[in-house]
Chain A
């Protein structure tokens, strides 16, 4: 099964809002409310910022929010800050055969 589809890169200015999409199929995103979003800074391990589509772990800024419609999940970052410049990866449970799928990652640049 193919990886989930994300835009390779996006950019925004400080204070703006951006939305990163993650498109799957009816076998993964469309079937389960088990979408996770990760933030990864260079040289570091990924960190969970959204789980179960729209839940935030303790300590994660409320500027990060998640949603899902059909086979597409979205991550919205509001009030962009310089520290948000990072790679963002989506991930979905995909059933007992494929199990876990990641997106290709989106490199976010804060201008």
Chain B
């Protein structure tokens, strides 16, 4: 059974960089049938898709990356085939970036996220 697990600092200072890693087990991140994405949920609010990536069979290129327009200037997603992980970086964070961050696998070119991590609450504070 595919499993995903988020890890990283739970507290980040304002204006610094949020960095999270998602470790995938029970399946390969190299499959190009699926995309690997990050979604966040501010406390008491709805879900927001951040971005997704899929492994192209070689070093990933820009064609395999998709970001939500409102965060595109601050977000980087990358993948590591050797460790079966993918990562999220959000630069210049503010209190508005405080949220539960989920990593998930989805069907390519869709919003079908069938496998999710448990989520990690990241708080941004000065």
Contacts and interface: CB of A to CB of B under 8 A. Distances in A.
B116 A46 contact: yes
A34 B110 contact: yes
B69 A1 contact: yes
A1 B117 CA distance: 26
A1 B118 CA distance: 27
A91 B69 contact: no
Interface in A51-66: 51-52, 57
B21 interface: no
A102 B46 contact: yes
Contacts of A72: none
A103 B112 contact: no
B34 interface: no
Interface residues of A, number: 27
A31 B99 CA distance: 30
Contacts of A51: 110, 112
B117 A45 contact: yes
A102 B47 CA distance: 6
Given A1-B69, A100-B52, A48 B112 contact: yes
A105 B69 contact: no
Contact of A89 (B47, B52, B109, B119): B47
Contact of B46 (A47, A57, A96, A104): A104
Interface in B19-54: 37, 39, 45-49, 52
Given A1-B69, A46-B116, A98-B68, A93 B110 contact: yes
Given A36-B110, A36-B111, 11 more contacts: A3-B46, A34-B112, A45-B102, A46-B47, A51-B112, A91-B111, A91-B113, A93-B110, A97-B69, A101-B49, A102-B49
23 contacts: A3-B46, A34-B109, A34-B111, A34-B112, A36-B113, A38-B47, A38-B113, A46-B47, A46-B102, A48-B113, A51-B110, A91-B111, A93-B110, A96-B66, A98-B69, A99-B52, A100-B106, A100-B110, A100-B111, A101-B49, A103-B46, A104-B45, A104-B46
Q: Which 4 A-B pairs have the closest CB atoms?
A: A91-B111, A45-B116, A105-B46, A100-B49
